[in-house]
Amino acid sequence: MSETLLEVKNLKKYYSSSKGIFSKKNESVKAVDGVSFTIEKGDVFGLVGESGSGKSTIGKTILRLHDKTEGEVRFKGEDVFSLIKKDLRRLRVQTQLVFQDPFSSLNPRIRVGDAIGEAMVQHGLATNKDVREKVLQVMETCGLSPYHADRYPHEFSGGQRQRIVIARAMALNPEFLVMDEPVAALDVSIQAQIINLFSELRKKNGLSYLFISHDLSVVEHLCTKIAIMYLGNIVEMATKEELFDNPLHPYTKALLSAVPIPDPRVKRERIILKGDIPSPVNPPSGCKFRTRCPIATELCAEKVPEFRDVGNEHFTACHYV
Partner 1 sequence: MLSEALLEVKNLETNFYTEEGVVKAVNNVSFSIGEQETVCIVGESGCGKSITSLSIMQLIPESGKIENGEVNFAGRNLLEMSKKEINRLRGNDIGMIFQEPMTSLNPVYTIGQQMIEPLQEHLLLSRKDAYKKAQELITLLGIPNSEKIINMYPHELSGGMLQRIMIGIAISCNPRLIIADEPTTALDVTIQAQILDILRDIKKELNTSILLITHDLGVVAEMADYVIVMYAGKIVERGPVMEMYTNPQHPYTKGLLKAKPLIGERKESLFTIAGQVPNLAELSDSCYFADRCEHRMDICLKKHPELKETSANHSVSCYLYEGEAVR
Ligand X SMILES: Nc1ncnc2c1ncn2[C@@H]1O[C@H](COP(=O)(O)OP(=O)(O)O)[C@@H](O)[C@H]1O
Binding site for Mg ion (CB under 5 A): 56
72 pairs with which residues across the strands? 9
**Are 224 and 44 spatial neighbours (Cβ–Cβ below 8 Å)?**
yes
Residue 103 or 307 with smaller CB distance to ligand SF4: 307
- Of the listed pieces 71-79, 95-103, 183-191, 310-318, which binds partner 1 according to CB under 8 A? 183-191
Q: What's the rounded Cα separation, in Å, for the pair 63 and 59?
A: 7
Q: Which segments of 27-122 are extended strands (E)? A: 27-40, 44-48, 70-75, 78-79, 95-98
User: Of 145, 196, 282, 312, which one interacts with partner 1 (CB under 8 A)?
Assistant: 196
Q: Name the burial class of residue 48, with classes exposed (0-12), middle (13-18) and buried (19+) by CB atoms within 10 angstroms of its CB.
A: buried
Contact positions with ligand SF4 (CB under 6 A) in 211-270: 250
Contacts 24+ apart (CB under 8 A), 262-266: none
* Interface size with ligand X, residues (CB under 6 A): 13
> Min. distance of Cβ 66 from Mg ion in angstroms?
14
Q: Which residue in 188, 204, 269, 311 binds partner 1 (CB under 8 A)?
A: 188
Q: How far is the CB of 210 from ligand X (least distance, A)?
A: 12
Within 13 Å of residue 107, how many CA atoms lie on the same side as its CB?
10
- Site for ligand X contains 27 (CB under 6 A): no
**CA dist list (Å): 207 to 5, 105, 149, 159:** 11, 22, 24, 21
Residue from 33, 35, 45, 52 binding ligand X (CB under 6 A): 52
Contacted entry of partner 1, ligand SF4, Mg ion, none for residue 165, CB cut-off 5 to 8 Å set by kind: none
Site residues, partner 1 (CB under 8 A): 50-51, 157, 159-160, 187-193, 195-196, 199, 214, 216-218, 220-221, 244, 254-266, 270, 272-277, 292
